[in-house]
A and B are shown apart, each in its own frame.
Chain A
Amino acid sequence: MGLDRRAFLGLVAGGTVGAMFTPIPWKLIDDASIWTQNWPWIPRVPKGQVDYVATTSKLCPAGEGLKIMRVAGNPILAGGNASHPLSCGGVSALARSEVYMLYSPARIKSPMKRNGKTFAPITWEQALVEMAEKLGAAKGAVASISGDNTGTINEVLTALTAKLGSAGSFMMPSEATTAAKAMKLMGVQGQAGYDFENADMVLVLGADIFETWGTSSRNRKAFGANRPAGAKPANTYVYVGPTRNNTAAVCDQWVPAAAADLGVVALGIAWHLLKAGATSNAPGFDTFKAVVNGGFGPEDVKRATGIAPETLATIAKALASAKAPLVVTGSPFGQGLGAAPVIAGMSLNMLLGRINKPGGVSMLPELPSVVPGALTRAAMLDGDLPAFLKGVESGKTPAPKALLIYDANPAYGLPEAATMAKALEKIPFKVSFSSFMDETAALCDLVLPNSLPLERYDDVATPYGSGFCVYSLVRPIQKPICDTKTTGDVLLGLARKLSIDLKFDNFQQVIKEKVASLTKVSGGFVAKDVMPWQVAAGKPAPALVGGDLWKALEAGYAWTMVGQAAQPAMGFAAEVLAKAVKAGKPATATVLAPYAQLRTGTPVTGMPCQDLTMVPDTELKGDTTFIRVNSETAKALSLKKGQSVKLSGAGVDCQAKVHIFESVMPGMVAAPLGFGHTAFDYYSQGKGANYLSLAAVAEEPGSGLSMWIAPEVKIA
C-alpha cells in the first residue's frame, strides 16, 4: 500500500479533479488577469476629498468663470461655472486645459539667463539684479508688449515702462485692437459690447463668434438659450465669411464672402436699408449715404463679391423687420482685420437704431485704473505693434534698448513672423515673462517664468465682445509647481530695486485695490440672482454690498455693470469707408483664408497636449498640416486630395497637404492656425506649418492700421 507510481498518479489525478471544485484555478486566473491591468507605471486616479473651487480662465481669451475640481486639494479638472455670466456652465477646450497645462513639458521651471545659444538657470535675486542693471542703463528707451487684453497687470507693466522712459507699450493685435481703432475713428469712447442674449436677429460678418471672437463660451450659451432643442428658435443667425467654420456651421444661413469683402457686404446691406428709408441723425450720415449710394449698389456688390442682390436684400429686410437686430463684425481668424469693415458693420447697427439698446451694441466704459502712471486700455490698444516692429526691422523706427514681453509671443503670433523675429533681434535686451518656452522666450536674454493662472492672483476685466462690463477674479488654488513667480510681484520688486514708486508692494494688493475701486462704480452689481442681460432688458439691477465683493468674487461670481459710457454722438466715419472699402473686381489670385480654433491653443499656450488628440487627421497627419480647398478650386489649381504642396507668400514657404472640403468658398485656401511651432514641447514643436507667416502686413487706407486679412498665396 505504499506510494507507488500508480498511487502517485491517482493522488495527482484526484488532487487535480478536486482542485477544479475549489476557487484555486478560477480565482488565480481572474486575479492574474487583473494583476496584468495594474502595472505600476499606469497613472492612478487620485483618491481623497473632492471639492470645487472657483476661479476664472486666463489662458482662454473668452474669460470664462471656472470651477476647478480638486481631489485631496490637488486640481484635477476644469469645468464651466454655471453662476458666471461669461461661462453659464460652458467652457472652451483651452479653458479646460488650465489644469493639464500645470504639468506641460513646455513649462519654464525656473528663471533663466541666455548663455550663448542656450539658457542657464539663475536665481530670482540674480534675475532681478541683472534686470535692474540692464533696464537702468536702457532708461528712456524701454518698450513693453502685452498679450493680456484684460488684466490689471497691464497697469503695472505700462506704469513701470513709463517710469523707465517708454519707447512704447503695445498690446498684441487682436479683434480688440481693430475694434478700438474703429471706435476711435467713429468718435466714441469705450469698448464695443454686443448683447447677444437679447438679440433676435444676428448678422455675423466674418467674426468666428463661437470659436475665437470675444466671449465665445458666453456667445454659444446665448445662442443656445434662445434655441431650445425641439422648439422653434427664438433668434436667427446669418454668417458671412469665406468658410463654413464652427460659427457658420450652426447658423441658419451661410453667405460665402471673402474676408476682404466684409466691408463691401456691410455697405451693400446698408444700400438696401437706405433704400427702405433708414436714416440717422449721427454725424457724417449724408457723406455715408453718398458713399453707399455711389459704389455699393446691388450690382456693384455682386460684381465684387459674387453675392446675388436678392440675398443681401433678404438679409436687409430680415434685419429691418427684426425687433432686436444686431450686426457683429470681426476677423474669421481673430486678427488682421482693418478698421473699415468694423466701421461698416457698426454703421448697420446705427442705421437700425441699435446703439445702447437691449440686444444691440453698447460702448462699455473702462474700469477704474489703480496704478499711478499706467496707460489706459484704450491707449494700449491704440498702438500698432506690427507697424512698430516693421519700423524697427527696417530701421525707420529706433530700436528700443530693452523690451519687456508679457503673455505674448510676437515671434510666432504676428504676420510676417520672420520680419518680426528680425526686429526683435535688433533689440539688445529682452525679457520674457512667459510661462512656457515659446518662440519669443527662446529669443530673449532673460526668461522669468510667470506662475500659471491656477497658481497666482490675477483678474479678467471685460473681455472684448462682452455685452456688459464684467470683472472676475483669478486666484491661486495651489502653490506654484515650479520655481515661478507672479509677474506682477516680479515687476513691483523690480520697481523697488530701481527706486520707482508704483504704490504697491505686491500684486495681490493691486488686485484688492482694483476690487475696492469697483464698489465705487455706479450701477455695478454682483451677477448672482440677476444676470446683466436681464438688467439690459429692463430688470432692476440689485444693489452692491461693498464689503462682500471680494468674497463674492472668490466664490466665483462676477461683478458686472450694464450701460454705456457717456459720450458724444457716434459718427459714421464715412471718409474712412470711402478710402478703405472698394467694391472692385474680385481677386484673381488664390487667397489664404486662415482659421483659428481654441483647441490648438494660442501663440502663448502652444498646443495643449491633451487637445492634440482632438485634432482630426484631415487637419494634421503625422507632422503635416492640411489646407482645405473646395473641388472647384482644386480643379482650377490642378490639386488632388492628399497631394503635397508648397504655399508661398510674404517671402515665406510653407508645406501642406490638400484636403478637398466643400465648406470653403471658391478661390480660397483655408489653412489652420496654431501649428508649426518651433518652440514649446513635443506636442507643439514641428507639427505642421505656421500659415500666419505667409501673410504680409499692409497699411489700411484711411485708418493707417496694419492689416493682413486676405493674404494672396501661390501654390506649387
Chain B
Amino acid sequence: MEEKRSNSAGGVGGMALFALIGFVGALVVGWGIFPKMLYSQKTQPIRFSHTVHSQLGIECEQCHHLGPDGRFAGLPSTESCAECHGEETGDTSANGKEIDKFVKDYVKTGRQVPWLVYQYQPDNVFFSHAAHKGFECTKCHLDVAKTDTPPPYYENRLSGYSKDTMKMWECERCHASMGTSNACFVCHK
C-alpha cells in the first residue's frame, strides 16, 4: 500500500517531466526541423547577377515590364538576353563561365531558361500587376536587385509551390486595409 502511494507520487512528477520534454521537443521539431523537411532547396538554372546588370545602367523595367494589356511581362526571354549574350565569351571568370553556360544551354538550343519564380500564384488566381503598380515591388517580392547570386528557391514538397508564394490571407488582409473588395471574383475569374 505504501509502495503504491510512493509510485503514484513519483509517477506524477515523472509524467510531468516527460510531458515537458515532449512539449519542448515538439517545439524544437515544429519550429526548427519541420520547416527544413517541408521545403526542398533549389538553385536557379543560371546564376544571374542583378548587381552586375544594374551597375551597367540597365533599368529594371527593361526586363520586367507590363504588357500592352496590363499583364506583367515577367521574365525576359532567351532571345532578349541573347541580344547581349548571343555568343560564348571564353572568359574563365565565374561570371564568364556562367554566361557561356547560358549561351551553350539556352541560346544555342533555342530553349527558354526554366527560371524558378519565387512568387507564381496558383492558376486559379487572376493577379494583375497593372492594378498593383503603385506599390513598391519589394512590398511583395524578394529584394533581388542587389544580389549577385539569386537567393535559394524553396519548394514545398507537398503543395509544389514556392515558399514565397503569397497566401490568400495575405492578399485579403492587404485588400481589407486598403478598402479594396475581397469578393471572390476579384481574384478568381
Contact = CB atoms under 8 A, between A and B. Distances in A.
Interface in B61-80: 67-69, 71, 73-77
Interface in A384-437: none
B186 interface: no
A163 B10 CA distance: 111
Given A7-B14, A35-B159, A38-B159, A14 B22 contact: yes
Given A23-B30, A49-B77, A50-B67, A18 B11 contact: no
A6 B112 contact: no
A51 B73 CA distance: 9
A49 B29 contact: no
Most buried by A among B27, B75, B117, B120: B27
A614 interface: no
Interface residues of B, number: 43
Interface string A1-39: 101101111111111111101111001100110110110
A23 B156 CA distance: 14
A515 to B, nearest CB: 26
B23 A14 contact: yes
A45 interface: yes
A31 B156 contact: yes
A35 B158 CA distance: 6
Nearest to A42: B123
Given A10-B15, A15-B23, A49-B77, A23 B158 contact: no
A15 B35 contact: no
A314 to B, nearest CB: 45
A345 to B, nearest CB: 41
Interface residues of A, number: 39
Contact of B31 (A6, A10, A15, A23): A23
A47 interface: yes
B18 A34 contact: no
Interface in A292-334: none
B17 interface: yes
A72 interface: yes
A479 interface: no
Given A10-B16, A50-B73, A18 B158 contact: no
Interface in A49-107: 49-52, 69, 72
A3 B18 contact: yes
B15 A18 contact: no
A3 B14 CA distance: 9
A10 B25 CA distance: 12
B174 to A, nearest CB: 19
A44 B112 contact: no
B21 interface: yes
A10 B34 contact: no
Interface in A245-277: none
Contacts of A51: 67
A72 B76 CA distance: 11
A17 B30 CA distance: 11
Contacts of B60: none
A622 interface: no
Nearest to A72: B112
A17 B26 CA distance: 8
Nearest to B13: A1
Nearest to B72: A50
Contacts of A230: none
Contacts of A47: 117, 120
Contacts of B14: 1, 4, 6-7, 10
A79 to B, nearest CB: 9
A351 to B, nearest CB: 48
Contact of B20 (A6, A14, A32, A37): A14
A3 to B, nearest CB: 7
A48 interface: yes
Contacts of B34: 22-24, 27
Contacts of B23: 14-15, 17-18
Nearest to B10: A1
B169 to A, nearest CB: 10
Contact of B18 (A11, A27, A45): A11
Contacts of B68: 52
Interface in B146-177: 156, 158-161
Given A6-B14, A10-B18, A11-B22, 5 more contacts: A14-B23, A14-B25, A18-B30, A50-B74, A72-B77
- A-B residue pairs, 3 tightest by C-beta: A22-B30, A18-B26, A14-B22
Interface of B: 10-12, 14-27, 29-31, 34-35, 38, 67-69, 71, 73-77, 112, 117, 120, 122-124, 156, 158-161
Interface of A: 1, 3-4, 6-19, 21-24, 27-28, 31-32, 34-35, 37-38, 44-45, 47-52, 69, 72
16 contacts: A7-B14, A11-B21, A11-B22, A14-B23, A14-B24, A15-B22, A15-B26, A17-B23, A19-B26, A23-B31, A24-B29, A34-B159, A35-B159, A37-B122, A47-B120, A72-B112
